[in-house]
Amino acid sequence: MNKQNIGSLLMISLHGYVAGTPELGKPDTGGQVVFVLELAKRFARLGYRVDVMTRQFEDQPAEDIINDNLRVVRIPFGGKDFIRKEDMHDWYGDFVTNALAMIRHRGLQYDVINSHYWDAGVSGQKIAEELQIPHIHTPHSLGWWKQHDMEGADAAEMAGYRFDERIQKEFVLYRNCDHVIATTEQQVDLIAEHYQLPKDHISMIPPGIDEARFTPATPSRVASVRQKHDLRETDIYVVGRAAENKGYDLIIEALPSLLKMQPEARLVLAAGANSDSDNALLGQWKQRASELGVSDKISWRGYVADEDLADFYRAPGIFALPSRYEPFGMTAVEAMACGTPTVVTIHGGLFEQLEFGRHALVADPKRPEEFAAMLNMPMQYPWVRETLSVEGARFARRVFGWTGIARRTLQVFDHFKGRYDDLQTDELTLAN
């Protein structure tokens, strides 16, 4: 790409531990952080200059230089302590002020702002208005859907999510930004229906995977990994943060039905816990396993080291995504890319993009017998297992490789690039 034509992009992702090498598994640090950084790396590879702007807290440096085209820029606000994402917007005014001061002090110029999640979206909209540049927002999850899916939860838990405030601000944000990029067709429909946004203001671009990292492995490599990590061909692997919406209790409740069909089956549950509330959830799930008489059929694991992620996907017989609510389900795509037969929830967007019985299997984890039946299929029938292994990996690589996802996203950016050039010219004229 000709140097004069290189564009400059500002990506904003405020919550969690955003870094060149993110500390995955820390609070609010998971799929979204991976999404933002992988997309930013592909933008940089394609010749764009990219700043990923986030919050500076604890002892983090002001910048991480990742390569000549990409850096993480941290803006201090809200003090030195971690702030959970549900409360981040209490501080967005300070973030906007400090971010604009830094941008103008350094003389930085951007062609497009791409914000991620609603906390960054509200902030990014104000920054875009001040700088007179386009703002493209990626929600990742929707307040309306999460509130709807958590109906029946106790009042204290619901209050912590501040849904009324979030949904109102999302409603205004989607109208004020130039465009919304949803990650699933389900999100497109929900935004159109419940936030009353015209569908021509929304594009659907799914998340991507690192296609060089998440690949199938040879039988000898898989055998070695199984021995190293105590994993078996009869294992069902589940991984993620300790959170109610992840549905770990639901797959535990499916285990008795599965064991009737597959007595050797075992659930390997890697649920990362960061807080007292996380540990309380783990205690509840262990209690439920005890009540069902399946405690000896569950291997409880904590966080899986980043360097072991792909091997943990490859080694078990099946990967399961039993979430009550999952905006996308990146872990399932990564498991499929590694050649592991996968069963995904119907409560999310991924299942709409795959072919049942060819790429993966789909079930409702809120129906234990149904979910158990789908887990049984690849264990019972070798031809099902082999089809899902080969076709699932092919599907994941071709549809969700990050470079292809980045090119699709850039097409959206290019459509809006330069939209406010006349306004900027007018402002300069008035200033002079």
The tokens describing 240, both together, are 């993620």
Residue 339 sits in a domain whose CATH number is 3.40.50.2000
Q: Is pLDDT above 50 for 4?
A: no
Per-residue pLDDT at 425:
55
Per the domain annotation, does 417 fall within a domain? yes
Q: Which single residue is written with the structure tokens 């917007």?
A: 89
Mean of the pLDDT values across residues 228-243? 94
Same structural domain for residues 296 and 345? yes
The Cα–Cα gap between 127 and 217 comes to 46
Comparing CA positions, the residue from 144, 153, 103, 154 lying closest to residue 124 is 103
Q: Calculate ∠ Cα 379-225-22, nearest 5°.
A: 105
pLDDT at 296 over 90: yes
* 269 within domain boundaries: yes
What pLDDT does residue 235 have? 98
| pLDDT greater than 80 at residue 160 | no
From CA 384, how far away is CA 148, in angstroms rounded? 35
Q: For 49-101, write each residue's pLDDT tens digit.
A: 999 999 999 999 999 999 999 999 999 999 999 998 888 878 889 999 999 99
| Whether residue 141 sits in one domain with residue 178 | yes
Same-domain pairing of 177 and 91: yes
Residue type, 376: N
The reply to whether 248 falls in a domain is yes
**Residue 163 has what pLDDT?**
85
* 97 and 236 part of one domain: no
Instruction: Tell me: do 314 and 377 sit in the same domain.
Output: yes
Residue 213 in domain: no
DSSP per-residue string spanning 42-110: HHHHTT-EEEEEEEE-TT--SEEEEETTEEEEEEE-S-SS---GGGGGGGHHHHHHHHHHHHHHHT---
User: Based on the domain organization, do 255 and 339 belong to the same domain?
Assistant: yes
Instruction: Report the domain count for the chain.
Output: 2
Evaluate if residue 164 carries a pLDDT over 60.
Answer: yes
What pLDDT is attached to residue 3? 38
Give bridge partners of residue 114 from the DSSP assignment. 11, 136
Residues 203 and 250 grouped into a single domain: no
Q: Check whether residue 259 and residue 369 sit in a common domain.
A: yes
155 and 179 share one domain: yes
Pairing of strands 63-67, 70-76: antiparallel
In this predicted structure, the answer to whether residue 155 has a pLDDT above a threshold of 70 is: yes
Question: 71, 65 in Cβ contact below 8 A?
Answer: yes
Asked if 381 and 424 sit in the same domain, the reply is no
Task: Please check whether residues 204 and 260 belong to one and the same domain.
Answer: no
- The pLDDT of residue 261 is above 80: yes
Same domain? For 48 and 124 the reply is yes
Joined together, the tokens standing for residue 198 give 């015209």
Pseudo-torsion of CA 21, 27, 32, 38, nearest 10°? Answer: 0
Query: Does the pLDDT value for residue 48 go beyond 90?
Result: yes
Arithmetic mean of pLDDT over the chain: 90
In a domain, 214, yes or no: no
Kindly state whether residue 126 falls inside one of the protein's structural domains: yes
Examine the pLDDT at 430 and tell me if it is beyond 80: no
Summarised one tens digit per residue, pLDDT across range 105-141 is 999 999 999 999 999 999 999 999 999 999 999 999 8
Q: Given a cut of 90, is residue 431 above it in pLDDT?
A: no
Q: Is residue 96 part of a domain?
A: yes
Range of the domain at 387: 219-400
Q: Is residue 259 part of a domain?
A: yes
pLDDT single digits (tens) 338-396:
999 999 999 877 888 899 999 999 999 999 999 999 999 999 999 999 999 999 999 99
**Percentage of the chain lying above the pLDDT 70 cut:** 96
pLDDT tens-place string over residues 175-215: 999 999 998 878 898 999 999 999 999 999 988 888 889 99
